[in-house]
Amino acid sequence: MTEWAGRTAVEIAAAVREKRVTPREVVAAHLARIERLDGRIGAFRVVRATAALAEADEVAARADLAELPLAGVPVAVKDNLAVRGESTRVGSAATPDAPAGEDHVTVARLRAAGAVVVGLTNVPELCVFGTTEGVHGVSRNPWDTSRTAGGSSGGSAAAVAAGTVPLALGNDGMGSLRIPAANCGLVTVKPGRGVVPAGIGEGDWFGMSENGPLATTVADARLMLSVLADAVTDADAVTGAGAGIAEPGRREPRRIAVSVRSPLPGVSVSGPYVRAAREAAGALTGAGHRVRRADPPYPLSLGLTSLAHWTAGTAVDAQGLDSRLLARRTRVHAAVGRRFLAGVRGGTAREELRRRLEPFFAEYDVLLTPALARRSPKAGPWHERGWLSNLLMNTNYSPLTPPWNLTGWPAAVVPFGTLPSGAPTAVQLVGRPGTEGELLSLAEQLEGLRPWRRTAPLT
């Protein structure tokens, strides 16, 4: 039975549909792996062992089992999205412990497709920072448990990288899918605005936050994104049929700009991540794409625009919570954000950024960058440290993700290369609105040219 833990979602769903394995057997195998490994990783806040087995039996009894794209696939859900019957704590002691009355729409779509929710994953308080720790635990990178898994979807990424689930649901407001995916050697896509329902916190961080998949293969990421976007309703997604994201993108040569420059002055990109981007560019050149070194025209004001929107989003999410129960870094972040609220709500900075970048994306189809500027920080009680130390840590290790939340354009992360420690490095692919399928197609080519080990070597 344990052989099913560590399989891809595509493999599991096919086996369940063909009745080579039952959903209960699959879920039980993953629950056993969670019990064995999660004490070292800290991915989960809640493991729904009894409820998940009952849900697995319900999937097995469904009349449409043979048509379910995620038949019997165990999934984990980030703890800022409602799961019926479970509390949504968002990494905080200040949030209510009352159970949710219904699923978030993305969770409902996963369950309708045959997935089984095995647990809710850890996040930093109010999903603010690029590390995951707090009152509910510390999430560590399964490839190097001395390091953070990243954030804010750190628990979701750690769960997938440890092989305790094949898929996890997360979201991304300033890099919160892409940062932990890059740390943990996973594939993810932050979709463009409107592709997947958002409904995250109190206003989606002014429309910057998007829900998306964390997976170990491009095929799994495509499958999950198709379900989340309601692009397919049956098992055709597995074979690439259906519409939109479910279809492999165009394979003709694309115009690709490669940039290893940080968008923020004074923040440099370290050697391993520069090398990953350059080697990925070389691989895509060899595959026939037209690749050229070119830097987007990032404005000097980008850092301030990012800070204003990042903190203002937290100010909105913190309204109505008892500030005495919030960590100091969260209180300060929200207080800074309150000063920016009026300017963010009535400002034009994001529209001006889009207009500035549109000519670049008229000349190039895709932008290729390093995913991070350097490896993730040491795991530990970052929530007990000051706001400035957290701000500097986040800025210095992840300057390359926020621009694409501000524009609302799609961006994917793909494992590529390794750090000296053996942990993964990664690259980011960015495209115009509506190009999620094309980004996945390029990711699939990189996967074929430089396959990666899917899960961390845990025993």
User: What CATH number has the domain bearing residue 279?
Assistant: 3.90.1300.10
Q: Which amino acid is at 225?
A: L
- Enumerate residues 6+ apart whose C-beta is below 8 A from 370: 260, 269, 273, 274, 276, 277, 400, 425, 426, 427, 428
Distance CA 437, CA 319 (A): 37
Q: Is residue 146 part of a domain?
A: yes
Distance CA 195, CA 411 (A): 13
Choosing from 78, 156, 190, 306, the catalytic residue is 78
Q: Is residue 147 part of a domain?
A: yes
Choosing from 153, 156, 176, 226, the catalytic residue is 176
pLDDT band at 245 (very low <50, low <70, confident <90, very high): confident
Number of domains the chain is built from? 1
Distance CA 428, CA 410 (A): 10
Q: Is residue 51 part of a domain?
A: yes
Residue 136, domain extent: 2-301+344-449
Q: Is residue 100 part of a domain?
A: yes
Residue pair 154/139 in contact by the 8 Å Cβ criterion: yes
pLDDT band at 234 (very low <50, low <70, confident <90, very high): low
pLDDT score of 239: 37
Residues of the chain with pLDDT > 90, as a percent, come to 94
Distance CA 143, CA 423 (A): 5
pLDDT digits (tens, 9 = 90+) for 83-120: 999 999 999 999 999 999 999 999 999 999 999 999 99
Active-site annotation holds for 306: no
pLDDT digits (tens, 9 = 90+) for 299-315: 999 999 999 999 999 99
Q: Is the pLDDT of residue 2 over 70?
A: no
What is the arithmetic mean of pLDDT over 404-414? 98
**What does the mean pLDDT of the chain come to?**
95
- Enumerate residues 6+ apart whose C-beta is below 8 A from 314: 126, 128, 330, 333, 334, 337
Active-site annotation holds for 268: no
Residue pair 55/96 in contact by the 8 Å Cβ criterion: no
Q: Is residue 233 part of a domain?
A: yes
Q: Is residue 76 part of a domain?
A: yes
pLDDT score of 238: 44
Residue bearing tokens 């595509």? 10
- Enumerate residues 6+ apart whose C-beta is below 8 A from 292: 255, 256, 257, 258, 364
What is the arithmetic mean of pLDDT over 320-326? 97
Q: Is the pLDDT of residue 144 over 50?
A: yes
Q: Is residue 315 part of a domain?
A: no
Q: Is the peptide bond before 226 cis (omega within 30 degrees of 0)?
A: no
pTM score of the predicted model: 0.96
Choosing from 152, 153, 262, 398, the catalytic residue is 152
* Assigned token pair, 413: 């992360």
Task: Calculate the CA 196 to chain-centre distance.
Answer: 13
What is the arithmetic mean of pLDDT over 25-31? 98
Q: Is the pLDDT of residue 383 over 50?
A: yes
Active-site annotation holds for 139: no
* Assigned token pair, 348: 């034009």
Q: Is residue 455 part of a domain?
A: no
